[in-house]
Chain A
Amino acid sequence: MDNLIVIGIILAGIIILLVAGMYIHSILLTSGVVGLILLEGFDFLPGLLGNEPFNRVASYTLTTIPLFVLMAQFILQSGLVQDIFYIVHRASKGKNSLLGVLTLMVGGVLGAVSGSGTATAASLGQVAMPELRKHGYSPELAGAVAASGGSLSGIIPPSIILILYGVATETPVGSLFIGAFIPGILVMVVYILVMLVYFRIGLKKQPINKEERAVPEIAATVEEEQKPSIFKLIVSSIIAILIMLIIFGGIYSGIFTPTEAGAVGAFVGLLAALVLGRVNLRFFRDSLFETVKLTGMVMLIMIGAQIFGRFVSLSLLPRTLIGFLEPIMGSPVLVLIAISTVLFVMFMFIEGAAVILMSIPVIFPIIQEIQVDVLWFGVFISVICTIGLITPPVGLSVYAVAGVSGIRSESIFKIAFVFAAVAMLVVCGLLIAFPELATWLPASAD
């Protein structure tokens, strides 16, 4: 069958299945398999399908995914986040706007030790939201702060998105981590500024919110009862600082590679939980199950994306697309704006890792054709992906916060979308105007 017809059929099929609510990995598998059958018949399928699952999974670099997630799980289950947030709460006593700023910064710090955004968002939702609401934040704004703070894990290294991009494009993950550092901080700063504006507006119409403010008082009393001891707080802060020092110090001094940092991080997280006295069978069960589930999810999507990618290659879709884009290929900025618009829309609807994995077979050849820096591009789409974690209709960070706080996700999205839109315009604009924001650090680190 003619390639273009097959591409048309498959694209239509993907959209129908997406709307019908099929699992993303199944859509990728199905469209890949059906596309290959239409293009090549049944004969080639065994060769193309049989070895992909094993080859995709048997990768040293991919150990970072289960291990960074395990580290995040160990840290979350150890109660470290709660303790740290208690300190933040104390530090910002009486300064209500500072509490929001510090919450976002805690999100940034957690981002630096955790690979996955939703886990961080959920724990921020649990511990930070009652405090925020007690200090005059509307429930929606508090939810948006927790969700956007948690989403920062997507860009502040270590980040699963950066790892997946590095693996899929053979870009050194370490360089990507370093390159994402400044843009990650920028996203955080933008979130802080937008949050401050919202907080000011909210203060002016505060009387309306009286009724809602009754609820958090209860949460606050609970909080008072569970007040951790000073000794434990000191231990927690020392452990938190130690974890960061070990991971980043270890990578930069060459004691271990960014890949190995996953294992070291998880190990340190386990030690921390041991010191804090939180290790028991349930601790292991919860952290291991969560980690294996998340890893299984990423791997299923990766396997699907790999088979879909084989179809994309054989259909010559990237070449067709490059031909189609020919009139604007001479102007990389236009191509980039087109690509980032498409990606932004995809990240709105689809989970981030899935977007990266399914779009790279198509987009990467175009990126190489217009000679855009591969490292810069990885950082760039990770920023878009991070922002996508808080955009409607599918924003996993917002879902996580809504899930643990009981606030409707629609109302959080209303504010979170503004966070996202401003960050998208400012940070992506800056990245296009000054690519050095992503490339300068990795270049000088060598």
Chain B
Amino acid sequence: GEDEAGGGAEGEETITLRAATGLSAQHAWWEGAMVPWMERVEELTDGQVEFETFTGGELVSVPDEGKAVLDGTIDVGIILPIYQPDQFPMAEVTMLPLSYSNTEIASNAWRQLLESEEELADGQTYFDMQFADFKVFPISTTQEYSISTTGKEFNTVEDVVGTSLRTPSRIHEVYAEKTGIDSVTMPAVEMYDALSRGAFDGSFYSIADWSGYGFQDLFTYTLTGVNFGHFNAFIGMDEERWAELPEDVQEAMVQAHEDIFGETISIWNERAEEMVAENEAAGGEFVDFADLDPAVQEHFNEGIVETWVDYAELLESNGLPGYELVRTWRDLIIEEGGEVPEAVMDL
């Protein structure tokens, strides 16, 4: 809502924007991206813009932020398009597994993908095809997803097959299927309880995100050096709402985004370092992919390639430019310094 009350700089009307997320107030995307962005906007507009904030599902739950922005319940929100593959089928591209990347590489690639002028199909860019209703401010992706278990180790291919892991996204489910991993789906809140009682073996999860549920005390074996994708997000507004804002406010928002984008990347890295230290102190072990038995490496890599093909095919079967998209993503990742298995290069 917009308040008529004055008090802004030079007698201008104060614009109060309602900002919300279903994530907790401690989540890196809120604390590390949204809050700095809002503070910077308030600063740049000399207090003309103010934010009224709601976190932890107080007003909107994950993943309804996008809908809430479009129907005007809120003015601005953190949008997690991967949770709605029915609405944003091409958003999951950042979850595709890679050989190497980090938060910075994936974040830059994600931003470039959203801002790219290059057309994917029918004269439309990636943005046009997925997010044209929104004003989009890309924020950093998560750190790469790893596989962590409460004890199960991957010494042979037989160890991998039949391991039961929680799969947080559709891509992980595909990958699990390709590599013979049993996928378990359950809400993240219940995971600690179920894992600590041995209901299943582990999960795909990003290390930096462990603290939200206390997983640093739970996992004892984590596979690093291979990467099961990056979760993405953006700060979103309704396109029409955005167009109504005064030009100087728009400029301030764009500038604020420019200023905070890099900061947001580092918060994930800091959190990951903390988690690794805490986990190692609690007896956790981190195993590098390169140190695994070559047959196991081969098994994981085959899964990666098959997942890329499967995802591209899935999109194509829905009339979307699947292959064009995964190639674009691959090239952006490579350009930013990431690596993919050889076979992905030939797609």
Contact = CB atoms under 8 A, between A and B. Distances in A.
B27 to A, nearest CB: 13
Contacts of A173: 190, 193
Interface residues of B, number: 24
Given A47-B71, A253-B197, A310-B59, A61 B64 contact: no
A313 B73 CA distance: 12
B193 A314 contact: no
Nearest to A251: B197
Contact of B73 (A47, A172, A174): A47
A446 B190 contact: no
Contacts of A310: 59
Contacts of A47: 67-68, 71-73
B192 interface: yes
Among A172, A258, A309, A313, find the residue whose CB has the most chain B CB atoms closer than 10 A.
Answer: A172
A304 B76 CA distance: 26
A313 B194 contact: no
Contacts of B194: 254, 257
Contact of B187 (A46, A60, A255): A60
B50 to A, nearest CB: 13
A229 interface: no
B94 to A, nearest CB: 26
B198 interface: yes
B57 to A, nearest CB: 8
What does DSSP make chain A's interface, helix, strand, loop or mixed? helix
Contact of B59 (A60, A61, A314): A314
Contacts of A43: 72
B73 A48 contact: yes
Interface in A230-254: 251-254
Given A60-B186, A313-B54, A257 B193 contact: yes
B197 A252 contact: yes
A259 B71 contact: no
A257 B199 contact: yes
Nearest to A255: B199
A254 B73 contact: no
Interface in B158-214: 186-187, 189-190, 192-194, 196-199
Interface in A166-182: 170-175
B1 interface: yes
A400 B1 CA distance: 48
Contacts of A257: 186, 190, 193-194, 197, 199
B87 interface: no
A51 interface: yes
A267 interface: no
Contacts of B189: 61, 170-172
Contact of A172 (B68, B72, B190): B190
A256 interface: yes
B206 to A, nearest CB: 19
A61 B191 CA distance: 12
What 10 A-B pairs are tightest by C-beta distance, nearest first? Answer: A254-B197, A47-B71, A254-B198, A174-B193, A47-B73, A313-B58, A257-B194, A254-B199, A172-B193, A313-B59
25 contacts: A47-B68, A51-B67, A60-B190, A61-B187, A61-B189, A170-B189, A172-B190, A172-B192, A172-B193, A174-B190, A251-B197, A252-B197, A253-B198, A254-B196, A254-B198, A254-B199, A256-B199, A257-B190, A257-B193, A257-B194, A259-B190, A310-B59, A316-B52, A446-B196, A446-B217
Interface of B: 1, 52, 54, 58-59, 61, 64, 67-68, 71-73, 186-187, 189-190, 192-194, 196-199, 217
